[in-house]
Structure 1
Amino acid sequence: MKVSKFGGSSVATATQIKKVLHIVNSDEERRIIIVSAPGKRHAEDTKATDLLIRLYEKVMNQLDYQTKKQEILARFSDIIDELGLKTDLLQKIDDTLEHHIKHLKNNPPRLLDALKSSGENFNAQIIAAYNTQQGVPTIYLSPKDAGIIVTDEPENAQILSSSYEKISKLRDIAEKVIIPGFFGYSETDHIVTFPRGGSDITGAIVARGVKADLYENFTDVSGIYRANPTIIKSPEIIHEITYREMRELSYAGFGVFHDEALQPLYRYRIPVVIKNTNRPDDPGTYIVHDREINRRRVVTGISCDKGFTSINIKKYLMNRQVGFTAKILKILADNEVSFDHMPSGIDNISIIMRTSQLEGKEEKILNEIRSQCEIDELNVEHDLAILMVVGEGMSAVVGTANKITSALANAGINLKMINQGSSEISMMFGISTKEAEAAVKACYQNCYA
């Protein structure tokens, strides 16, 4: 049994939807389908979700929102008309949008979630209706009816473990099932969206719930590249990658598959394949629990993400002071700041975090560290990029670190910090943001040329 998820570009137009349903209907094992909201039809286009956010902004600013609503309706009308779908869904879409606005306009976080989720919700209904009209019995299930019950914090839904029992019953449905991605329902019956990458998360939750043999994630590329294709011209596609490797690469900028979507699948070892809707016969990239290590090509992928800040602290005999690091981490926790890396020496420690974590809090945190921790030196470094070099078994292959550092040195790139810790599968390098692309090119050339 396969659970298949199709991203926004895969369901952006009637033509694309027909491709999707051809893929779905050509394999009887593809029984549960998760769909996104319509994505961009061309480079200058606007995603349906972005149109819905703009509608929300109009409502919140007490502006006339009818023109923006008509733009959204036109987007779905184009799809319905091009499919030749005989339905009253367009009126239902209009009524639903007005219902959300009328009942939730005094509760902005709830209204935003309800409107943002509408793109997936409407698209799923259209796709299910069209497939049925084509003679393939297909039912639409809302996340609530599918059993996707989540926590109640707006824009931060987390699946409740009790949901999986009801989700497991989806296996018993004989028809094809279409479920909208990106959101669930709370126990108080509110629509709550998942964080970014939400449709990937929905697909993973359903795949785990029904204990699928395979979770297929269809997008507009034929797999996961070893490096960012906007930096490296025609990079190789990774044929097989582990959950752990994918987690490390996603953290540092690989955007094809959201790292949070791996969590429901990891425990049950459900494999994932990333495939191309426009080239469905391409093998794609498999994400698995374990794989054989290629010692001649031990580096699986290279990624680099920008927007980091490092708080650097020095204190003589720091290593002998019990609880020193705990004090610093408590200050961060009290200010609701999480950190990403913490490389250290005997008398110094660096705490690396996303710069966005410090917005409006930086000076307060620094002052608290100074007053509570009796430090010798404190400085902050902004405009950092994090370069991740990832590969299972990397630590067991002699010369891997030297290969990477030599490539960076030869490219004239200054390393501000290196952190491998106890990881067997990744090395992290802190570099200047302006050198990020050059670093990726240097490492790729040295690892794969």
Structure 2
Amino acid sequence: MKVVKFGGSSLADGPQFEKVIQIIAADSARQVIVTSAPGKREKSDTKVTDLLIKYAKLTLMQKNATEIVQTIFNRYLSIATYFNLPEAELIPIKEALVNLPHRDYPSTDYLMAAFKAHGERLNARLMALILTHLGINARFIDPSEAGIRVTDEPNNASVEPSTYAYLAALSYGNEKLVFPGFFGFTDAGQIATFSRGGSDITGAILARGLNADLYENFTDVDAICAADPRIVNNPLEITRMTYREMRELSYAGFSVFHDEAIIPAIEAQIPINVKNTNHPNLPGTLIVPESQFEPIRTITGVASSNRFAALYLHRYLLNKEVGFTLKLLQILYKYDVSYEHMPSGIDDLTIIFDKSQLDEQTIQAMLHDIQETLQPDQLNWIDDYAIIMVVGEGMRNQIGVIEQIIAPLAENKIGVHMINQGASRISIMLGTRQADSKAAVKQIYNQFFVNEPISIS
């Protein structure tokens, strides 16, 4: 049995729905379907989720939302009309939209989560209606019915372990089960959404809970590439990679998966196949456990992200002072700030942060406390910081990989501010200036994919 997830661009309109239905019908093993909300039909279009957010804001301001409700409903109606599905069949969808403001919500955050989740919820209901209309035995399964339980965090929920026991008890025969992605229910019965990549998370949860043989994730790319196509022209497509390679690359900017989205599938050791809805016969990228992978290249991919900032601290004999790092971490704790990495020397230390959790006021207050408490000789905030991840299972058995990475950067006068190799030896992290990150990615890609021949281990 396969769990199959389709992204928003795959479900944006009637013709895209038709492609999805052909994919579902082409393989009887594709028995569990996960839907996203309808995405953009063209660049100037608005995603249904964004329309629902606007609807929620109008509701909170107690303004008339009749027009936005009709706009949202028309997105579903146009898809139904494409398949000659009578509008009367969509009455439950219209009623669900109209009734959203009249439910009880513990907070505005829960209201927003419920509104956003209905993009997926209504699309899954519509998919089941259309499949049934076309003579395909299908059933809509709401997360409340399936027992998808999540933590009490309305817009950043995590799956509760009890979910897997509920899913294991779910019975189905030859019918297709259609699930909405992106959300689950708290113990109090409230809708709570996952973080970004939420439908991917639902797919991975279902793959684990239903013990799938394969989790297929259909999107709008033919495969995962060894580098960002916006940086490198026509980069090599990755046909096979490991879970941990995917996680490392996602962390540094690979956009196919949010780096935490596939953890449930990883925990169950279920292979994941990333494929293109528009070219479903292409092999895509298969993501597998390490035991099922034999590297043919030194590295599998290189990725970069500019979402980071760094704090540089210098103090003589820093390494001799007991409790220095503890005091520093206590200040971060005071401001509810987590750090990503902390490379250090005998007299200096750099802390790397994800800038999304920081604002200017927090930065200044934190720097003030560090200066007052630790009295460093030098303290600098570096906002111009990028991280580059060079990842590959093939690095584990190779000597001199760091030299191969650094040499072309030095030749092109690209400064490296930090180097960190993980204990697994499958990833090397570099810190550079943001202005140098794209050039660094190009040079590293050329070194390992243009200049290096394929090597069979």
Above 0.5 in TM-score?
A: yes
Partner of 1:67: 67
> Aligned equivalents of 1:179 and 1:74: distance in 2?
22
Preserved CA contact (<8 Å) 1:73 1:90: no
Partner of 2:310: 310
> Aligned equivalents of 2:365 and 2:224: distance in 1?
41
Partner of 2:382: 381
> Aligned equivalents of 1:82 and 1:327: distance in 2?
63
Partner of 1:18: 18
Preserved CA contact (<8 Å) 1:171 1:210: no
Distance 1:368 1:278, change over 3 A: same
Give per-residue Cα distances to partners, 1:103-131, cap 9 Å, x unaligned: 35783211111110111111101110111
Preserved CA contact (<8 Å) 1:393 1:424: no
SS at match of 2:379: strand
Preserved CA contact (<8 Å) 1:89 1:126: no
* 1:310-329 equivalences in 2 (<5 Å): 310-329=310-329
Which piece of structure 1 moves more, 166-175 or 151-160? 166-175
Preserved CA contact (<8 Å) 2:69 2:98: no
Partner of 1:253: 253
Query: Unaligned 5+ residue runs, structure 2?
Result: 451-457
> Aligned equivalents of 2:61 and 2:440: distance in 1?
44
Partner of 1:167: 167
Q: CA deviation at 1:2?
A: 0.7
Letter in structure 1 aligned against 2:16: Q
> Aligned equivalents of 1:33 and 1:144: distance in 2?
16
> Aligned equivalents of 2:376 and 2:44: distance in 1?
52
SS at match of 1:329: helix
Query: Unaligned 5+ residue runs, structure 1?
Result: none
* 1:219-258 equivalences in 2 (<5 Å): 219-258=219-258
> Aligned equivalents of 2:7 and 2:215: distance in 1?
13
* 1:2-401 equivalences in 2 (<5 Å): 2-104=2-104, 107-170=107-170, 172-290=172-290, 291-294=292-295, 297-359=297-359, 360-401=361-402
Partner of 2:454: none
Preserved CA contact (<8 Å) 2:315 2:376: yes
2:443 counterpart of 1:442:
yes
Letter in structure 2 aligned against 1:417: M
> Aligned equivalents of 1:171 and 1:348: distance in 2?
59
Q: CA deviation at 1:170?
A: 3.1
Preserved CA contact (<8 Å) 2:414 2:436: yes
> Aligned equivalents of 1:213 and 1:105: distance in 2?
38
Letter in structure 2 aligned against 1:333: Y
> Aligned equivalents of 2:175 and 2:264: distance in 1?
25
Q: CA deviation at 1:193?
A: 0.5
Distance 1:171 1:434, change over 3 A: farther
> Aligned equivalents of 2:24 and 2:126: distance in 1?
15
Give per-residue Cα distances to partners, 1:265-312, cap 9 Å, x unaligned: 2222111110111111111111111144436x2110010111211011
Which piece of structure 1 moves more, 9-18 or 392-401? 392-401
Which piece of structure 1 moves more, 382-391 or 259-268? 259-268
Count the aligned residue pairs: 448
Letter in structure 2 aligned against 1:349: L
Preserved CA contact (<8 Å) 1:307 1:383: no
Preserved CA contact (<8 Å) 1:315 1:377: yes
Preserved CA contact (<8 Å) 1:157 1:195: yes
Give per-residue Cα distances to partners, 1:20-52, cap 9 Å, x unaligned: 111112211111110100111112211111111
Preserved CA contact (<8 Å) 1:60 1:105: no
> Aligned equivalents of 1:112 and 1:443: distance in 2?
43
SS at match of 2:388: strand
SS at match of 1:245: helix
Q: CA deviation at 1:353?
A: 0.7
> Aligned equivalents of 2:403 and 2:180: distance in 1?
47
SS at match of 1:383: strand
Question: TM-score, length-normalised on structure 2?
Answer: 0.94
Give the CA RMSD over aligned residues: 1.6
> Aligned equivalents of 2:273 and 2:108: distance in 1?
37
Give per-residue Cα distances to partners, 1:358-417, cap 9 Å, x unaligned: 213111211222222243221110021111111114143122211211121222212122
SS at match of 1:261: coil
> Aligned equivalents of 1:142 and 1:68: distance in 2?
24
Which piece of structure 1 moves more, 418-427 or 208-217? 418-427
Distance 1:303 1:193, change over 3 A: same
> Aligned equivalents of 2:12 and 2:392: distance in 1?
35
> Aligned equivalents of 1:383 and 1:105: distance in 2?
41
Which piece of structure 1 moves more, 57-66 or 67-76? 57-66
Letter in structure 1 aligned against 2:407: S
Letter in structure 1 aligned against 2:62: Q
> Aligned equivalents of 1:244 and 1:171: distance in 2?
32
Preserved CA contact (<8 Å) 2:343 2:350: yes
> Aligned equivalents of 1:147 and 1:21: distance in 2?
26
Which piece of structure 1 moves more, 307-316 or 321-330? 321-330
> Aligned equivalents of 1:444 and 1:139: distance in 2?
46
Preserved CA contact (<8 Å) 2:6 2:218: yes
Which piece of structure 1 moves more, 121-130 or 427-436? 427-436
> Aligned equivalents of 1:432 and 1:222: distance in 2?
31
Which piece of structure 1 moves more, 119-128 or 39-48? 39-48
Letter in structure 2 aligned against 1:208: R
Partner of 1:415: 416
SS at match of 1:361: helix
SS at match of 1:22: helix
Distance 1:421 1:219, change over 3 A: closer
Distance 1:163 1:374, change over 3 A: same
Letter in structure 1 aligned against 2:329: L
Q: CA deviation at 1:235?
A: 1.0
Which piece of structure 1 moves more, 420-429 or 14-23? 420-429
